[in-house]
Structure 1
């Protein structure tokens, strides 16, 4: 919510609370358990929460205010130290990973994938659930879990609407609504690019132990787990929640969308080249040290 849409009284309350937390933390002495800097950090954190909850200031302004206040209150030595965390390689990798879904959502590759999926599954509802879970898992290996889930839930809702599936009654709907998010999370484990948490974990491991995990090393360990998990989760979901059958006519609208997207546009070719190129470079980084995950991510952003 933009701060301009928030009542002035609410904004003033947020600013007043933030001031109370900051000023109060200055006068609260530290202890052996928690030093004075720690007390001021907690005060600054509470101020941040109050400003965000009340939308007293725009989100970006609030974030910058907190960064500036860290050296002002003496929590850190200077502004350079306050923003030092933003130079972390993990941050640039996360930015690049979130750019991949933006690239793919501007194309019709998802529609074509669902069209090919329906051609394979036909009107077999259990097979349809499996197809959706496989497709979601594949895309989630390079796309962040949340946008991947949103993408495939949108396709699933179109099918459920065409099948006149009733909310809270359709087992096919339950299977898809449960299976797609699980598949997105499962696929996100397959590669470091599948989830921002993966690269954060890699970065923490490297800082704590000095050991680094390459893109290929991660895939070698995680991919077999993902390959096993998809059919196992599908089996139990469809056995417990037996999806009702659907007619072939329910899938006609999706087929028409896929047929309309048959022509591949030049920007779609560029998009798929960028995505595949990043995967190739990430794997090549196993033998070429300079091509670490962050460097390749920055190449993709350019």
Structure 2
């Protein structure tokens, strides 16, 4: 056995031990929660739900089991713990959000397969020229703009691929400030852009669906955009400025404009596939926006005022003969099935936490005094806590499921619109860049151009601006859209 094989064997053995430790920790923690005396105000079903949550979080965070396998376990243990029958658990698992996220993977594939995303990126580079500092702005603004329609992970991956091509041509290696600025700026830009529209991130639709599950009213598409678009308009340029300031590029240019022009010429004019995708996406976006006013639709077309239905129909059209942007096998391979399973599992757990009384108990125990504070302080505290909790729960879909139900109950107790307490969590659930622990920063982190704590200074500054800006927008625009 050579040295490489010995090293691989030791790594495999170490990984196996880590997984066993994670499983043991989950079992022990779950057992402890089950055996503890039931706290005052919490019924036994709520305690069992808390135990299931604790065990699942440890398994997800440690990846002791594949994320999808842990997600299946949460389904199996709901009837085993006497929380609900398997049928209702499966019904909660296969929520509209599950299928919306599936369509987002299909749409992201369409942008990459047709080449439209790459064309958009090179078009933006052509507008920036070759100045290195302006190129940093292009990558941040481009990833953020694309992320408002395409999910944040593929948006980050698309711009990273183009950046790596430029790095290879210029000989940019890990340690370069230019490389560091772009590789940190891309995921932050994608996460910022993802809050521009409800379709920008699976977290947005998951959070909005939880509001409905908890008895709140559905937030119209344009009402979200009334807050989301101003956030993106301010935070994207700020992100580019911060990363360029913290990591000033050591080069002045990325070459000559002829290189960029040559790349665009190689792509040629818009292909028929690209035109088809533009037509499909334009129709979907128009219908999404019009869904905020269902009365505008004739009675027979009223179902098209449903955001989820439009996403499903739009993705189906991409497979119709004569359009056919790709095959179903290609769509299968491009789908993040672990993400889908995680979304389904946390949605089902959210329903159980409400029905078992766990959410109400958390409100009474931890947050009851919050209603006595000023609205500004409430929004700031909720948003800041959501930012910090990413360090302990680096699994974004879990955050709205854990936080929204108790906060909505708190809003009801205070006599306020529950959405006022829930929306800051949904918006700020994407503010996940203090450290590269979330799936989006991990897209670029693995390339080695920056270290774990390199993201912290930029991430902290932008997070503070995010919390302040979102609070101001909620207070200023909230009354205009019926939140306050």
Under a length normalisation based on structure 2, what TM-score does the superposition of the two structures give? Answer: 0.52
Per-residue deviation, residues 34-66 of structure 1 (Å, max 9, x unmatched): 6554565566567766699555xx765664454
Secondary structure at the counterpart of residue 130 of structure 2: coil
- CA 1:104–1:72: 2 relative to 1, 3 Å: same
- CA 1:163–1:29: 2 relative to 1, 3 Å: closer
Deviates more, 1:229-238 or 1:219-228: 229-238
8 Å CA contact 1:152–1:180 kept in 2: the answer is yes
Shift of 1:298: 2.1
Is 1:287–2:301 an aligned residue pair? Answer: no
- CA 1:203–1:261: 2 relative to 1, 3 Å: same
Aligned partner of 2:142 in structure 1 is 135
Aligned partner of 1:3 in structure 2 is none
8 Å CA contact 2:59–2:70 kept in 1: the answer is no
Under a length normalisation based on structure 1, what TM-score does the superposition of the two structures give? Answer: 0.79
Aligned partner of 2:160 in structure 1 is 153
Shift of 1:152: 0.5
Alignment partner of 1:301 out of 294, 315, 321: 315
Q: What are the residue-to-residue correspondences of 1:49-88 with 2, within 5 Å? A: 53-55=63-65, 63-64=71-72, 66-76=74-84, 78-88=85-95
Greater radius of gyration (CA)? 1
Aligned partner of 1:124 in structure 2 is 131
Aligned partner of 1:212 in structure 2 is 218
- CA 1:35–1:211: 2 relative to 1, 3 Å: closer
Q: What are the residue-to-residue correspondences of 1:93-108 with 2, within 5 Å? A: 93-108=100-115
Deviates more, 1:156-165 or 1:96-105: 96-105
Q: What are the residue-to-residue correspondences of 1:1-302 with 2, within 5 Å? A: 28=35, 31-33=38-40, 35-38=43-46, 40-41=48-49, 53-55=63-65, 63-64=71-72, 66-76=74-84, 78-168=85-175, 170-208=176-214, 210-243=216-249, 244-249=251-256, 252=259, 255-288=261-294, 290=303, 291-302=305-316
Number of aligned positions between the proteins:
291
Give the aligned CA root-mean-square deviation in angstroms.
3.6
Shift of 1:236: 3.0
Shift of 1:106: 1.1
Secondary structure at the counterpart of residue 171 of structure 2: coil
- CA 1:164–1:147: 2 relative to 1, 3 Å: same
- CA 1:280–1:88: 2 relative to 1, 3 Å: same
8 Å CA contact 2:126–2:257 kept in 1: the answer is no
C-alpha distance in 2, partners of 1:197/1:141? 13
8 Å CA contact 1:17–1:50 kept in 2: the answer is no
C-alpha distance in 1, partners of 2:262/2:204? 38
Shift of 1:142: 0.7
Shift of 1:24: 6.5
- CA 1:263–1:47: 2 relative to 1, 3 Å: same
Secondary structure at the counterpart of residue 294 of structure 2: coil
8 Å CA contact 2:132–2:254 kept in 1: the answer is no
